[in-house]
Structure 1
Amino acid sequence: VIRFSEEIIRDAIRYEIQRGGQIFFIHNRIENIKEVAGLLQRLVPDAKIGIGHGQMEGRKLEQLMLSFINNEFDVLVSTTIVESGLDVTNANTIFINNANNFGLSDLHQMRGRVGRSNKKAFCYFITPPYHNMTDDARKRIEAISMFTDLGSGINIAMKDLEIRGAGDLLGGEQSGFINDIGFETYQKILNETIEELKENEFKDLYKNSSNKPKEYVKEIQIDTDFEILFPDDYINIISERLNLYNELGELKTEEELLDFETRIIDRFGELPTQVEDLLNSVRVKWLAKHLGIERLILKQKRMVGYFVSNQQSSFYQTATFSKILQFVQQNPSICTMKEKETKNGLRLLLTFIKIDSIKKALETLQKMEV
């Protein structure tokens, strides 16, 4: 990476010509490409220079390229038309003027025009000072100068993905914000958006597409002071515990959970209390989602459930919610329902007392579902 220096350019061209090689000089502005070629001719008077760009007649451009391949002149001053499909083994020096204006893939492609023989190759990225570049341009130049080894294309591609973002699947943008929030979160937001569109703008198209009952709660957050985990002295390998947590998070049915429990006992022995509570917490999560609870707090012998945050949700007209209201009316000694103002707006809360274990929480929610 260099600044525009007549001395460096002159010395590099002379060195390449002295060892019998040829030079690419990339300048992507057709309006003054002849002036650039004139500058190079002034710097190296004995060099033979050709000019090529996309506005030339096809036959003339083809003849120019063939002449360069046949080593009939030393320096080809051209636009980016040479970035692919051209193999000149004798050309082992390339200058890319205003490299900060190109994308990473373009820079990588153009750098690949040299180094196609057993001779050492040189690539000069001519840029303004770093403080005069945009942040993204500076990141691109740093990346292309960092990854120079053979096979480093994948690293450049990943860096390009990081700089530009991965794009919007449901839109016209080719770059996006996925890197800022993570792929899983992006997928979650995407799925929620699709479901929302199905329920609102396109509900007529999807009203007969599925007989599945509607899910009003996609994800539930559980806060608790109970120990719900795989203890270190039960499963002492960290990676094994992480794998089991991931597998547990993917389970959807009681049959899958029972099979998971059987395999755990078979591998590690009888379940300690913490693991029993962990498995029951999954059942609590399933029940709470079915009951329209988005957040569940199990602390200080109390269980507090936060219902669907959208006050206009059709959940509040369902038979499930009617059943919950009936249960609250019939059991005022163990539970209460009230509205509470939170930082996210007005929320409807369901509170139970004397909940001293995960098992008791599960049994209480099961009574409501019956």
Structure 2
Amino acid sequence: MKLKDFDKIFSANPTLQRLCRWTKATDGRHIALQGLRASAQSVAIAEMLRHTDKNILLVADDGDGAGYAYFDIVQLLGNERVAFFPAFYKHNHKCGATIAENEILRTDSLNKISGKNPCIIVSYPEALVEKVVAASYFVGSKIELRKGQSYDMNSLVGQLQKAGFEEVDFVYEVGQYSQRGSIVDIFSYSNELPYRVDFFGDNIESIRMFDIERQLSVSSVDSIDIVANTDGGDLPKISLLEFMSSDSVVVVNDIDFTVKRMDYIYEQALIKANEHKHIDDLSSTLADGETFAEELGKHRTVELLRNYYKADTMEFSTTHQPNFDKNFDLISQNISNYIAEGYRIFISADSRKQTDRIKSIFDDRGDNIAFEAVEGGLHEGFVDNDLKICFFTDHQIFNRLHKYSLRSDTARRGKAAMLIKELNQLKPGDYVVHHDHGIGQFAGLLRADINGKPQEVIKLVYKGGDIIFVNISSLHKIAKYHGKDDTQPTLSKLGTGAWERLKERTKAKVKDIARDLIKLYALRLEQKGFEYSPDSYLQAELEASFVYEDTPDQSKATADVKTDMQSPKPMDRLVCGDVGFGKTEVAIRAAFKAATDGKQVAVLVPTTILAFQHYKTFAERLKNYPVTVEYLSRAKSPKQTKEIISRLR
């Protein structure tokens, strides 16, 4: 079952249906909800949007609460109709550093609010304190482009310059644009990837999004909105509630807390502004709690925790998912009790593999637990006593950390795009390698006239003074030269075929090495190894209890290692990964699998300190399982070493 299918089941809740009728109607300014707990709140708010043509603003108590609510609603509705409105400043207005990637999220929110389709904006007090540009200016400053549209390219460039976009050789951060012949690359403040607009004369022939690191197109779109930076500058500002139309619905977890929190943030900013002599413009850029309360009174409101307006209430009957703390005796007893009372049990996870693990644990234990697997998770599970359904999440069952991600995560990579960064660090005279032409010297970025059109190119100089110009759309063919002991390489000679012959010789040597390796592995395959048993319920429980979500690479590495172990052939596998990428967890799972099959496991590490660190990690992960973990190093006394070795026999 998909998460959206469960959403349809929960939509049958009679109080939720009443709430949706209120949302669709125009009478009744304020209501309060009672008994709506955990992620049932997010499911209800998503359902509200399906019954209205108005925008909805959801205000959580803090950034994390907003982040998890945003995650839930995106899981239910997708990205197109949901936006996250964060704070632009890290700490204090003017005095604190800004968070550049949040510009994208804030501008995306304003863009969705001013769009044609109703949406949900998720925010929190720290973000609502910061005012935004007036709606009339925001809409008027947008540049709308669509495929097939007649548009003068020079006029577009002029508009971008006027809007404050920076002209660069190649785009890799928001607020930048570049022009190469008939192509204009633009990184709008409202999208996580930059756009590539291709003109044919005065017509827009195509619009594509492209990858920041490789500068290559990834998908085509029919229309886009180019939005400039609206958080900076001296433009007149208004609160987010003023930006939204008065018929929007505002859902607040706790109105009184939000008002007081905004007042506190404003007061702290006032103190800082007084110290830094910025007090004059504070009210023009920040909104206090009183301003928020005044604007809130003009909107229809739904309060989740209290009843600020002493309004009519709607009663739900939901409770939080019980805290099982990985105790399957408690889980089994609890779920069995619910089943006996006629409840339907739903267990959700981001992958089917995880719910299969839970099922195998129940089966191996002999528990007669029937549940419906839901693909796609929410942050917090809940029980709805009206519909008699339990929606449990796998990460809460195993007490595992659950994280949310935001749309700007992709754009954040642009600030560390290695290809662009490396190219920026190149100096004239540095050696580079071109895939087709060999080793040359970097001679700078130039603007050349190609077929009557100016384009940015990279100039490379080869042996004998030969020169080639590389269009930046072919950046993926160039890499900085890295040689042994910083020795200077010999420049390649163009037109001689020497580079191609060198590549062919290299390929031949690689084939020789591969041939030798094949012979070696053929001999290894003839050897007989120990064939480990398939995963037990203990193995499934251990893996499911990992406090973080497995990355795709981590899942694949674990599966590959266990497949090798269950084969009668000797395992010969290398697991590679950077620091912090989860290699130790893969080793723990493999070691545990061996131990549960009656084997003893030795983990070899290069240093004494690392031995102790791994000992603590293994001991912590395996403390609830029937295995013993010890370590040997020179830090142990001879007596301790002898005692540990004696226990191995």
Q: Rg bigger for which structure?
A: 1
Query: Which bin holds the TM-score, normalised by the shorter protein?
Result: under 0.3
Give TM-score scaled by structure 2 length.
0.15
Give TM-score scaled by structure 1 length.
0.22
Compare the two structures and name the one with the higher helix fraction.
Answer: 1
* More relative contact order, 1 or 2 (CA 8 Å, 6+ apart): 2
